[in-house]
Amino acid sequence: MEVIDKEKERVKELTELLNRYNYEYYVLNQSSVSDAEFDQLMEELQRLEQKRPDLRDKLSPTSRVGGGVVSSFPKVVHKKYMLSIADVFNEEELYDFDRSIRKATGLKEVEYVCEVKIDGLACSLSYIDGDLEIASTRGDGNVGEDVTTNVLTIPSIPTHIQEKRDFEIRGEVYMSKATLAKLNKEREASGEPLFANARNAAAGSLRNLDSAITAKRHLEAWWYYVPDGLELGFKTHSECLDYATSLGFKTNPERRVVKGIDEVMKYVHEYHEKRPSLPYDIDGLVIKVNDLSLHDVIGYTMKTPKWQIAYKFPPEEQITRLEDIEITVGRTGRVVPTAILQPVRVSGSLISRATLNNEDFIKGKDIRIGDYVSLHKAGDVIPEVEKVILERRGKDVKEYVYPTECPYCHEHLERIQGQTYCVNDHCPSRKINNLIFYVSDMGMDIDGIGEKLVESLFNEGLVREIPDYYDLYKHEEELMMMDGIGKKTCEAIFKAIEKSKQNDLYQLICGLAIPTVGKKTAIVLANHFQTLDALMNSNVEELSSLQDVGVLTAERILSYFAEEKNKEIITALKCHGLNMNNLHPLVEAKENFFKGKKFVLTGTLSVSRNEMTKRIEDLGGKSSGSVSKATDFVLVGSEPGSKYDKALSLGVKVFTEEEILPLLEEAESL
């Protein structure tokens, strides 16, 4: 007759109960028993295991409280390399990722799984015959550390699963925001250093040599990848995660299966908003091709799978070292100091330069060369130094001495109304910046001529004054000898210059860079005077009576036209055949999404391009025939051409017609 081992049976019963209650509480966020009852059952199991050590299993629920101390973690060789994920930092790079996937697979539209990217420590769990065999960190991707004892302190992790085949799952161990706040409060009270962030706290806790300490840190985990999905018979990544959920693993409910890049973007925008409300830190999103059979087709690099990408949220602020301060002199003669920085990524852009505004700004913030500074984007656009990190100031920093003479023409600088100016009209820096402004989209908007080309043309003596642009066709051979300039580029530049002759009057007024006259004032002047000659022959009383034109602006306009050099420039422009009349009277558009933005249209739209262009221009937008770094947006229809590819390569934001129409309707309703 077989003797029943009642203690053995009770240990088995308690183990099953406690594992179920752990799953209910930590995975399902519900509980069928009170905390007191749970604690009572745990204490009973602990007593039985102390009495009968032979009944204690390494995967017992009592291991959740820790207690083992090790001198180091054994090394573990991963059966499959734990690759990292390549990062992208803006939406344009996501479009590029989708384009590369479609090119590799030949698909017009790809199904993706979008997931939040937990800011924690990567971990792998391996099960044999349904039991947890080993838990390991990622390490270098090939060799990690055995942290099984510490992982067992995480209650949501199942020690037994129904899958009896060898099974591996990978995920992220993390610490919630609430747990970190509580832990740091306790550490502050005891005089211990605080954890900088949840990731550091999670990594330090999981790798603590005392598992009892790990247990007290209340770590959690999400599981997001089954490396043997195909071998286990699954067709998609989402099926793997659904199966993992059915086995008792905690998988993130924020994941979503989407069709195509447009739905990916909707997810990205949604989680930009949701991010602060999540109970844990995320530093981005992960986009994965759902179809497992495509993964090998798309392939891998040495370090990353090509079928997935991590979109990293742009940091609002970064700290970097200010290596030098450089002075520039703009077209008006205003001296602008610029910080030269150790390159750092801020709000999705790699920043190596930032504005320092003026001398008072540098003195007010006590900025010195060699300082560590906090950097942000003013208005999410212009990189600006926020403050000096004084606690990191070294002995080798140098006070910056503001120059008293122009670094370009060496004339004495003057201080005027809080700003420093070079008042030499013939300063080469001022001349170059005037020439740059003339061809820019704020001036005559001549495509194909950028800042570097203008500088080269000036240094080669081909363009020294504005009218020289219209004689550039005479120097085709010299132009083609410059880097990156070929026959087609030359023809495009000449065509754009010729086209600019038909620009409207307000554009010419803008391009002349009359002090204090911007686009808004230029439109008012063009609408009132109708011709450039009438404007030149006006007086202070008439000018200052116009809306947005005060006495000071009126005086500066008349002073500009009174200078002999400027009269010569305008005469030369007339000789070259530039329009001097108000062809299409404009009303300054109200503030809206399109105002001041430069658009390029490509592909077939549901309406004619002329009609779409008119709608954009009526809202204050600008249209262009070619894509450049100065382009703000590219609007694509069906079968877009090379302009679409160029936009992707330059990182220019791309809109579909479906995306742009609601924006147009909203702006037109203002």
Separation between Cα atoms, residue 631 and residue 543, nearest integer Å: 34
Same domain, 364 and 510: no
Look at 625 and 3; give whichever has higher pLDDT. 625
CATH number of the domain enclosing 453:
1.10.150.20
What Å distances lie between residue 551 and 233, 542, 548, 563, CA to CA? 80, 10, 10, 19
Separation between Cα atoms, residue 415 and residue 464, nearest integer Å: 28
Q: Which tokens hold the place of 101?
A: 């996937």
| Residue 106 covered by a domain | yes
Separation between Cα atoms, residue 466 and residue 463, nearest integer Å: 7
Taken as a whole, the chain contains a residue count of 670
Answer yes or no: is pLDDT of 211 > 90.
no
> Across residues 262-287, what is the average pLDDT?
92
Last residue of a domain, which of 421, 443, 464?
A: 421
Q: Which tokens hold the place of 111?
A: 């199904």
Answer yes or no: is pLDDT of 377 > 70.
no
Query: Angle, to 10 degrees, between the axis of helix 428-439 and the axis of helix 451-459?
Result: 130
Same domain, 178 and 293: yes
Answer yes or no: is pLDDT of 37 > 60.
yes
What three-state secondary structure class fits 183?
A: helix
| Residue 581 covered by a domain | no
Strand pairing category for 282-289 and 111-118: antiparallel
Same domain, 347 and 443: no
Q: State the pLDDT confidence band at 379, using cuts at 50, 70 and 90.
A: very low
Which among 156, 122, 160 is positioned nearest to 140, based on CA atoms?
122
What's residue 151's pLDDT? 93
Same domain, 411 and 438: no
Environment class of 167 (CB within 10 Å of its CB; exposed 0-12, middle 13-18, buried 19+): buried
Active-site choice (58, 80, 117, 488): 117
Same domain, 539 and 616: no
Q: Which tokens hold the place of 94?
A: 């996501």
Same domain, 539 and 464: yes
Last residue of a domain, which of 375, 406, 421?
A: 421
Last residue of a domain, which of 509, 541, 575?
A: 575
What three-state secondary structure class fits 125?
A: strand
Environment class of 332 (CB within 10 Å of its CB; exposed 0-12, middle 13-18, buried 19+): middle
What's residue 380's pLDDT? 41
Amino acid at 278: L
DSSP state of 160: B
Average pLDDT value over all residues in the chain: 86
Which among 86, 478, 118 is positioned nearest to 278, based on CA atoms?
118
Annotation marks residue 117 as catalytic: yes
CATH number of the domain enclosing 218:
3.30.470.30
| Residue 72 covered by a domain | no
Same domain, 382 and 432: no
Distance of CA 212 to the CA centre of its chain: 40
What Å distances lie between residue 385 and 339, 375, 430, CA to CA? 8, 5, 25
Q: State the pLDDT confidence band at 3, using cuts at 50, 70 and 90.
A: low
Number of neighbours of residue 460 by Cβ within 10 angstroms: 14
Q: Which residue has the tokens 């409280």?
A: 65
Q: Which tokens hold the place of 615?
A: 């709608």
Answer yes or no: is pLDDT of 516 > 80.
no
| Contact assessment for residue 295 and residue 122, using Cβ atoms and an 8 Å cutoff | no
Q: Of the ranges 52-56, 119-123, 469-473, 639-643, which one carries the lowest mean pLDDT score?
A: 639-643
| Residue 593 covered by a domain | no
Q: State the pLDDT confidence band at 316, using cuts at 50, 70 and 90.
A: low
Query: Angle, to 10 degrees, between the axis of helix 657-668 and the axis of helix 609-618?
Result: 40
Q: State the pLDDT confidence band at 71, using cuts at 50, 70 and 90.
A: low
Separation between Cα atoms, residue 171 and residue 180, nearest integer Å: 20
| Residue 399 covered by a domain | yes
Same domain, 498 and 563: yes
Same domain, 414 and 436: no
Same domain, 304 and 337: no
Q: Which tokens hold the place of 422?
A: 């070079």
> Across residues 214-227, what is the average pLDDT?
94
Residues 6+ apart with CB under 8 A from 568: none
| Residue 349 covered by a domain | yes
Q: Please provide the DSSP assignment of 355-421 as one string.
A: E--SHHHHHHTT-EET-EEEEEEETTTEEEEEEE-GGG--TT-EE----SB-TTT-PBEEEETTEEE
Answer yes or no: is pLDDT of 82 > 50.
yes
What three-state secondary structure class fits 466?
A: helix
Separation between Cα atoms, residue 169 and residue 184, nearest integer Å: 31
Amino acid at 185: K
What Å distances lie between residue 365 and 103, 400, 450, CA to CA? 51, 12, 34
Separation between Cα atoms, residue 235 and residue 232, nearest integer Å: 9
Name the phi and psi angles at 349, rounded to 5: -120, 145
pLDDT digits (tens, 9 = 90+) for 158-170: 999 999 999 999 9
| Residue 76 covered by a domain | no
Element at 117 (helix H, strand E): strand 111-118
Task: Tell me how far apart the terminal alpha carbons of the chain are, to the nearest angstrom.
Answer: 91
Q: How many domains does the chain have?
A: 5
Look at 565 and 288; give whichever has higher pLDDT. 288
Q: State the pLDDT confidence band at 292, using cuts at 50, 70 and 90.
A: very high
Same domain, 388 and 450: no
Q: Of the ranges 3-17, 110-124, 361-375, which one carries the lowest mean pLDDT score?
A: 3-17
Q: Which tokens hold the place of 565?
A: 């050099």
CATH number of the domain enclosing 338:
2.40.50.140
Which among 649, 640, 634, 572 is positioned nearest to 599, based on CA atoms?
634
What's residue 129's pLDDT? 95
Answer yes or no: is pLDDT of 452 > 80.
yes
> Across residues 642-667, what is the average pLDDT?
77
CATH number of the domain enclosing 55:
1.10.287.610
pTM strictly above 0.85: no
Residues 6+ apart with CB under 8 A from 667: 592, 593, 594, 619
Range of the domain at 231: 87-312
| Residue 393 covered by a domain | yes
> Across residues 458-463, what is the average pLDDT?
90
Q: Which tokens hold the place of 337?
A: 């100091």
Same domain, 178 and 298: yes
